[in-house]
Amino acid sequence: MNCQTHFYRNESPLAVTRRWFLKDCAVGLGALALHTLAGETAAAPQTSDPLAPRSPHFPARAKRVIYLFMAGAPSHLDLFDYKPQLAKFNGTLPPPELLQGYRAAFINPNSTLLGPKFKFAKYGRCGAELSELLPHLAEVVDDVAIVKSMFTDSFNHAPAQIMMHTGSPLFGRPSVGAWTLYGLGAESRNLPGFVVFSSGSKGPSGGASNWGSGFLPTVYSGVMFRSQGDPILYLSNPNGVDDHIQHDTLDAVRRLDQMHLEEARDPEISTRISSYEMACRMQTSGPELMDISKEPKHILDMYGVEPGKPSFALNCLLARRLAERGVRFVELFHEAWDQHGNLKADLRKNCEHTDQACAALIKDLKQRGMLEDTLVIWGGEFGRTPMVQGGDDGRDHHPNCFTMWLAGGGIKPGLTLGESDDFGFNATRDKVHVHDLNATILRLLGFDHTKLTYRFQGRDFRLTDVKGEPVAKILA
């Protein structure tokens, strides 16, 4: 392989790289030496195996994460944050001071207040107040921490989802799952360290950026799994290809990739080599993972799984099976919660599809002794307005206040954190920004979020940008 530029035509790229570096970049050698002497290193040391297990900054409470992402934004006002005043003033205009300086995505400024659509009651020893739509979560509410004071910076789906996952509403940053894999490496050698499922009416608005690696090496990206058949397309060999042919082919490809790697020094070639090797191992581990025939009937019933039928419930069961097999980060997207209209019927349907399985996951992890070191997170990208949209049965996007819950992995159980105002419009006490949530996730995984960094374009980047603090009150 030779260069094709008019400056170095027909010369070895490796030789050109050395010549260019020594000729044009010599002024940077002193800085490199000083950098080394200062002992400044990345949080994740570089090794020959980018997925080798690594130790965090301090002892971790959580070894793995299961993120249940309710894309589209569930209505906190109809599920978690009951407001008697909102019910009392249903159909009236909100106080003018409430909307001062407020921007909304689509809502008419003259929209009236919309009271909660469902009944609420207190559950568990902790007395958490939940909607009647969440009877299964009510059974495990003493095992979760509910945060009613979340807020974010974006009020449209794609940027808000990307903000939630990468700490920025812009494309190109690594996701929280990628940062986790970068910092800790992978436990399993037979399955990807970061796995993603999708269910609901469509895929997440933010697309693959929600589980991408951004400027990190792509070996840390999430891998999308299907919940039926091969977890990844074309994992099975085609007719006429036996193990001997496959191994010969892979050996040849590996040798060519290794030659290219030695010449070009491109880390993406290492990712390609790892991907081929992982795919080969997954021809055994993949079918075993997807085979739920040995799961007891009472477990299937607990999740609400119908064998052979893709569903959010099946994805929850597969998430537990992946966690058992050492997968570091599993995320389940369920894009179905964008109720600008038809709120009452659709919200009920969404909860029927998800509530049982989410609670079953908590119960299942707990009975297996896994909840204590598995962090489970539930939530969407923002909340919904207390004002009506879509006639009298819908709510608009709302970044000022929403609710999430967390369980296991060092989270204080049975806690309700934060408050909002009388109309559920603004978070008013113990406010938790997206950066604070991500700092807390990294803290439970054993990291100081300010020190888990990656140098790119001349500066050190991190998941939490330049903000965020772990939420100490929800840590056990």
Q: Among 96-100, 208-212, 456-460, whose mean pLDDT is lowest? A: 96-100
Judge whether residue 437 has pLDDT over 90.
yes
For residues 174-203, average pLDDT: 95
pLDDT value, residue 258? 74
Backbone angles phi, psi at 427, to 5 degrees: -70, 135
Phi-psi bin for 342: left (phi > 0), alpha (psi -120 to 50), beta?
A: left
Q: What is the pLDDT of residue 33?
A: 44
Tokens (6 digits) for 296: 């007891």
Detail the DSSP E strand segments found in 191-273: 194-200, 223-224
pLDDT score at 154? 92
* Tens digits of residue pLDDT in 56-98: 999 999 999 999 999 999 999 999 999 999 999 999 999 988 8
Counting Cβ atoms within 10 Å, is residue 362 exposed (0-12), middle (13-18) or buried (19+)?
buried
pLDDT over 70 percentage in the chain: 82
CA separation for the pair 222, 261 (Å, rounded): 23
Q: How many CB atoms lie within 10 A of CB 68?
A: 24
Distance CA 111, CA 94 (A): 8
Report the pLDDT value the prediction gives residue 32, as an integer from 0 to 100.
43
DSSP H stretches of helix in 188-266? 243-264
Q: Dump pLDDT digits (tens) for 353-363.
A: 999 999 999 99
Lowest-pLDDT range, 4-13, 66-75, 200-209, 447-456? 4-13
More confident call, 107 vs 425: 425
Do 41 and 350 contact (CB within 8 A), yes or no? Answer: no
- pLDDT for residue 410 is more than 70: yes
Kindly indicate the confidence band of residue 1, based on its pLDDT and cuts at 50, 70 and 90.
very low
Q: Which of 13-22, 143-152, 194-203, 326-335 has the lowest mean pLDDT?
A: 13-22
On whether the CB atoms of residues 376 and 406 are closer than 8 A, the answer is yes
Output the six-digit token pair for 379: 């939530």
- Say which residue the tokens 């994460």 belong to: 65
Using the predicted structure, report yes or no on whether residue 37 has a pLDDT greater than 80: no
Q: Which of 402, 421, 338 is nearest to 151 (CA)?
A: 402
pLDDT tens-digit readout, 240-262? 666 666 666 777 777 777 777 67
Give the per-residue pLDDT at 49.
83
Report the alpha-carbon distance of residue 371 to residue 363 in Å, rounded: 9
Q: Please answer whether residues 187 and 328 qualify as being in contact, where contact means their C-beta atoms are separated by less than 8 angstroms.
A: yes
Residue 121 reports pLDDT greater than 70: yes
In this predicted structure, which of 31-45, 271-285, 321-335 has the lowest mean pLDDT?
Answer: 31-45
| Residue showing tokens 């879509």 | 390
Give the model's confidence band at 221: pLDDT under 50 very low, under 70 low, under 90 confident, else very high: very high
Instruction: Kindly report each contact of residues 231-235 with a partner whose C-beta sits within 8 Å and lies 24 or more positions away, as own/partner.
Output: 231/282, 231/286, 231/289, 231/290, 232/279, 232/282, 232/286, 235/279, 235/282, 235/283, 235/286
212 forms beta bridges with none
The pLDDT value recorded for residue 244 is: 67
What's the rounded Cα separation, in Å, for the pair 99 and 92? 14
Span 195-217, average pLDDT: 95
Supply the mean pLDDT for the chain. 87
Sorting pLDDT into bands at 50, 70 and 90, what band is 350? very high
Q: How far apart are CA 73 and CA 56, in angstroms?
A: 32
Residues ≥6 apart with Cβ < 8 Å to 470: 436, 439, 440, 442, 443, 449
- Across the range 217-241, mean pLDDT stands at 78
Say what percent of the chain tops pLDDT 90.
Answer: 69
168-184 average pLDDT score? 96
- Per-residue pLDDT tens over the stretch 259-288: 776 776 676 766 666 666 666 666 767 788
Mean pLDDT highest for which of 5-19, 249-263, 303-317? Answer: 303-317
pLDDT for the residue 246? 64
Q: Is the pLDDT of residue 146 over 90?
A: yes
What is the residue-wise DSSP string for 325-382? TT-SEEEEEEE----SS-HHHHHHHHHHHHHHHHHHHHHHHHHTT-GGGEEEEEE-S-
Bridge pairing between strands 374-379 and 402-407? antiparallel
Pick from 35-39, 403-407, 456-460: least confident: 35-39
- Give residue 30's pLDDT: 45
